[in-house]
Amino acid sequence: MNRIARTFNSLRDKGQKALIVYVTAGDPSLEATAATIPALVEAGADLIEIGIPFSDPLADGPVIQAASSRALAKGVRLDGILKMTAAVRERLPELPLVFMTYYNPVLQRGLERFCRQAKEAGVDGLIVPDLPYEESGPLLREASAQGLALIPLLAPTSTEKRVEAICSSAQGFVYCVSVTGVTGMREKLDQELGRLVQTVKEHTSLPVAVGFGIARPETAAEVARLADGVVVGSAVVKLLGEGAREEALALVRSLARVLHARCSA
Amino acid sequence: MLPDKRGYFGPYGGRFVPETLMPALEELEKAYFFWRDDPSFRRELAWYLCHYVGRPTPLYYASRLTEALGGARIYLKREDLNHTGAHKINNTIGQALLARRMGKKRIIAETGAGQHGVATATAAALLGCECVIYMGAVDIERQRLNVVRMKLLGAEVVPVAAGSGTLKDAMNEAIRDWVTNVRTTYYLIGSVAGPHPYPMMVRDFQSVIGQETRRQILQAAGKLPDVIIACVGGGSNAMGIFYPFLAEPGVKLIGVEAGGRGEGPGEHAATLCRGRPGVLHGSYSYLLQDEEGQISPVHSIAAGLDYPGVGPEHAYLKETGRVTYLTASDEEALEAFELLSRTEGILPALESAHALAVARKVAPSLPREAVVVVNLSGRGDKDVETVAQAKGVER
């Protein structure tokens, strides 16, 4: 069993939900990212998404856009990110690690080479927000060959037909986007979210995580009633970008408290 | 017939967007296929193109330019005479009518030079829709006249400061808006770029240019053109004039990209001539990018050509060799701008001046019997400040 499945299973056995934390690689530096990930895990993160910065991140809101631009401006490159990831893997052998990347950097590295190098660095899965199901065949083949999970995204606008098709080839977990929109902190979730998660659960036995817009423990608690995991990104990236590392860790602790509280249900 | 069912022209095209938008693209494709051949839709579109846009536009024999160059006869397809001063409105009227039939009351668009923004704001005003235009902060600075025009037409113009503050960043932001408001909003893309079905749909709406040209040149010259030349940014005016001639092997087709001020990265916008394939803004096509796939900065004196991507059908036509893609530099475009202004009394858009710059090289090598058609995609009023600055014209 791989690290992603092991983590979700062991949380489920304890009646807990997964806290998934996104960080932009190289903001403010790769050394800082390497040091921050263990601290996030210490604070309660169960799975880490490492964001590979891209010049034109069209699925991201202003916080992650700014973090990506800062990282690229500092000269962060894919080889450096792979090296940093390998170092994190060495330190945390059991931590599930996934890359979140736009498709073009993967294409330019070469699908086979990208997947092989990610695997060698200790990565467990890939999330590619601009690669919909219909176009995912070639990457799915290469990722599978390396034993990497290609984690699909589903949205409140996804029709049941699409949910069914996407779930049929899903690996790792299914990532439900909580709102129609880009990443970033929000007050309200989409009314369709409950229906979406329920439909997904009817079509797959994989864990379901919900992300985009979740920044506060109250929202996380609400989502935890529906799903197996919660993704938090922009809220943490924003604090890290402001140099407020302690506040970022405090936020992660407060989210972990909510998600790791044993559910009575 | 291309594209195929998945929106591919050979290996280029497709649909690389977040899942949130996929159902909307499916809905759009279905609506377009339904209305495209519907007689009432066709009649409505034809009516607006005739009575509102002012079509057909003339195919004008530029005799003084022909004399000045001393070779092939040069005809200009006068898209600059359309309402709003460029070819862009052929597409915005078509898509806005489609949006209305789809029940979408809010229209958004990206714009570079502002021509597509003005054409979208115009169509939105005409049909009574809410309109939001995304425009790079740098472009807003250099195309102020068009910003004012859009506002006067009732559109909200949202400046985009992210990235390079130009067309690609405006497109990122328009896509983000669409992802957020997809249930109520129609995204009106202005070029033959973006995810399927946009490259096909925009080409179809723009191909009125080529269809008219075909009819008009047969009447005027009694033969098809030997050469057709058009500028290529995203590539909509070029696709529009080329498309009805693709199956005519005797007609040489030349697309002209922005050579800018040099060959280094950030100095030009010659995507097909100097880029390589990748994924940006929803399709697989040529891009200007670094070896890691990060999108490169671009430059052109013509804001409408200042884009690091190009429509996927152009990538395909380059690969098959059906269309030849060349570049014209900022300097050559300025010279062509001046030449047309002085010989014919027509100020061309700086974008169109790139096509004229290549005509200037091609025409003298051909005999007088040969016919060259240049797509004069827009008028140059918007560019007079840029040209005056570059040329040091006294005010």
Q: Is-catalytic flag, B110?
A: yes
Interface residue A76 vs chain B (CB under 8 A):
no
Picking from A72, A108, A157, the nearest residue to B20 by CB comes out as A157
Express each pLDDT in A191-220 by its tens digit. Answer: 889 999 999 999 999 999 999 989 999 999
Q: Is the dihedral of CA B118, B122, B123, B128 positive or negative?
A: positive
Q: Is-catalytic flag, A90?
A: no
Residue in B110, B171, B292 to test binding to A, most A beta-carbons within 10 Å? B292
Domain limits, chain B: 9-49+88-198, 56-85+207-391
| Topology at the third CATH level for domain B9-49+88-198 | Rossmann fold (3.40.50)
Tell me, what's the pLDDT at B124?
Answer: 98
Interface residue A107 vs chain B (CB under 8 A):
yes
Residues of B in contact with A185 (CB under 8 A): none
Which member of B29, B110, B257, B267 is catalytic? B110
For the ranges A58-72, A78-92, A178-192, B155-169, which has the lowest average pLDDT?
A178-192
Q: Do B23 and A158 touch (CB under 8 A)?
A: yes
Q: B197 to chain A nearest CA, in Å?
A: 14
Token pair belonging to A222: 């609400």
CATH tag, A3-150+217-260: 3.20.20.70
Picking from B17, B23, B293, the nearest residue to A130 by CB comes out as B17
For the ranges A122-126, A260-264, B96-100, which has the lowest average pLDDT?
A260-264
The rounded mean pLDDT for chain A is: 95
Considering only alpha carbons, which residue of chain A is nearest residue B165? A56
Distance (Å, whole) CA B306 – CA B302:
7
Tell me, what's the pLDDT at B394?
Answer: 60
Enter the pTM of the model: 0.96
DSSP collapsed to 3 states, chain B: CCCCCCCEECCEEEEECCHHHHHHHHHHHHHHHHHHCCHHHHHHHHHHHHHHHCCCCCEEECHHHHHHHCCCEEEEEEHHHCHHHECHHHHHHHHHHHHHHCCCCEEEEEECCCHHHHHHHHHHHHHCCEEEEEEEHHHHHHCHHHHHHHHHCCCEEEEECCCCCCHHHHHHHHHHHHHHHCCCEEECCCCCCCCCCHHHHHHHHHCHHHHHHHHHHHHHHCCCCCEEEEECCCCHHHHHHHHHHCCCCCCEEEEEEEEECCCCCCCCECHHHHCEEEEECEEEEEECECCCCCECCCCCCCHHHCCCECCHHHHHHHHHCCEEEEEEEHHHHHHHHHHHHHHHCCCECHHHHHHHHHHHHHHHHCCCCCEEEEEECEECHHHHHHHHHHHCCCC
Tell me, what's the pLDDT at B162?
Answer: 86
Picking from B14, B172, B293, the nearest residue to A58 by CB comes out as B172
The list of chain B residues with pLDDT below 50 reads: none
What CATH architecture applies to the domain B56-85+207-391? 3-Layer(aba) Sandwich (3.40)
From A208, A204, A203, A205, select the one nearest A230 (Cα to Cα): A208
Express each pLDDT in B211-243 by its tens digit. Answer: 999 999 999 999 999 999 999 999 999 999 999
Q: Looking up tokens 């990722």, which residue turns up?
A: A143
Residues of B in contact with A152 (CB under 8 A): 19
Residues of A in contact with B295 (CB under 8 A): 55-56, 104
Interface residue A79 vs chain B (CB under 8 A):
no
Tell me, what's the pLDDT at A264?
Answer: 45
Domains B9-49+88-198 and B56-85+207-391 agree in fold: yes
Q: Do B179 and A182 touch (CB under 8 A)?
A: yes
Q: Inform me whether the pLDDT recorded for A1 exceeds 70.
A: no
Express each pLDDT in A144-164 by its tens digit. Answer: 999 999 999 999 999 999 999
